[in-house]
Each structure stands twice: as structure tokens, then as C-alpha cells.
Amino acid sequence: MGASKPKYKKFNTQHEAEAFIKENATPETCEALGLKSSQARASHPYTGAAFEPAEPVAKEVKPRAPRNVFESEPINEPPSGTLKIYTDGSSLANGQAGSRAGLGVYFGRDDERNHSERLPGEPQTNQRAELMAMLRALEIAPLTQDVQILTDSQYSIKCATVWAVTWERKDWKTSSGGGVKNQDIIRDLLAKMKERTKAGATTTFQWVKGHANDPGNNEADRLANIGSRMPAVV
């Protein structure tokens, strides 16, 4: 029996095509194309139950109809007493030689815990800065306090709530057998989340639309840009 003929899908604009890819492609494909996957939902709790995501991985990867990935989604308010932390990453000349990346962590106005930092090590990419910002937020936050991290990086949310679980089971290998990119930071992030779960704290993640006049996101972005202009960390 011969191979089935390929099927083609027509899009009216490049934006529609990119939105379709972001909705349905694997994280590796999105990363190869320089796109952020948009399969993250509005809120993603980390349950800590056997360190599984709140929703089964099989359910998360089912194809869904394309939607406008730039539409606002309602923010799910966490329970009273939860510490809300905005995080962001920035990379000047991202993906090019000589890029400079920084991260920002925003707890609130005039909060002494607000943090700017140049991304340590290489490569100096936006995705690594986004992940490191989330890790720093959990390192700064009290170990036993419930935390909600708000970020405009759906890639980072998926890493923390879905993909890391699968990658850990597969010894941090992709479906093609290669090593998972940014796994050094993702491993540390997963370990910190497990530590918080053992301490009785919950960790949830909320996607927010970037550059949409969200005060917390704007401040995290400002701090990340400050970090990207700091001296390199050897």
C-alpha cells in the first residue's frame, strides 16, 4: 500500500499560519522555527502528586482548533494568602552573536525582593532568561508559602507543568533522541517545585499577555531589561 498523499492547509496571513503552528506543533518544532508554543492554558497548577501535571499529558497534546493567541485570558485569582510574583526574561539581539539576556522578578511596588539579574552562562537567549526568572522567584519566595507565578512565556509554563515530567521519564531526551534544550535550568526548576511541595506549599502558573499594560508584567519586563544591560556573569 502506497503512502498517503500529504494534506495542505491554506492560510490567509502569516499570522494565521504561525498561530496554527503554535497551537499544534511540538515544543521542539516551535523552538526550531523561533516561535513560542501557545498550548498553555490560563492557569497551570503544579499539584506535586507524584510530580504529575494537574492535567494528563495525553490530554494536553490533543490538537485543538486554532485561536487568536494574542487574545486576553482571564486571570484566575489564587486563594487568599498566595504570593503573586511576576517574572520575565529579556534578550537583546536574541539568537544572534553577542546577545545579552537578563531576567526580572517583581513582587510588588517598593518590595525589597524585586530582582534584576544578568542571565548567567551561555547561550544568552530569551527562553533561558524566562526560565531562570521563574527559578529565581521560587528561590526568593518563602519555601512554605503558596506561590502563583505570572508570566507571558507559555513555553516556560509548559516546561514547568507538562513537558518536564515527560522529559524526566525519558532521561531528558527528546523524541528524536537529542538532549532537551535548557534542561539545566528546567531540572533546577523542577527540583525547587518538588522541594516546595514536600514543604506543603503549592506552586501555580498563570499566563498573562505581554505588553498589554499589565502593571506587574510591565515591571517584570523593565527589571529584565535592566538585567540584560548588566555586566556578563562568568
Q: What is the C-alpha to C-alpha distance for residues 1 and 59, in angstroms, rounded to an integer? A: 32
User: Residue 108 catalytic?
Assistant: no
> Among 89, 102, 216, 227, which one carries the catalytic annotation?
89
Provide the residue type at 55 as one letter: E
Q: Which of 139, 179, 200, 211 is catalytic?
A: 211
Taking the C-alpha atoms of residue 30 and residue 18, their distance in angstroms, rounded to an integer, is: 9
| Cα 161 to Cα 29, 126, 136, distances in angstroms | 19, 19, 17
d(CA 163, CA 81): 28
Catalytic residue selected from 60, 102, 221, 227: 221
Q: Which of 152, 214, 216, 219 is catalytic?
A: 152
Catalytic: 221?
A: yes
Residue 132 · residue 89 · CB < 8 Å: yes
171 assigned to active site: no
Active site residue 89: yes
Question: How far is residue 153's CA from residue 130's CA, in Å, rounded to a whole number?
Answer: 7
Which of 88, 117, 146, 219 is an active site residue? 88
Catalytic, 214? Answer no
| 152 is known as an active-site residue | yes
Q: Which residues are catalytic?
A: 88-89, 130, 152, 211, 221
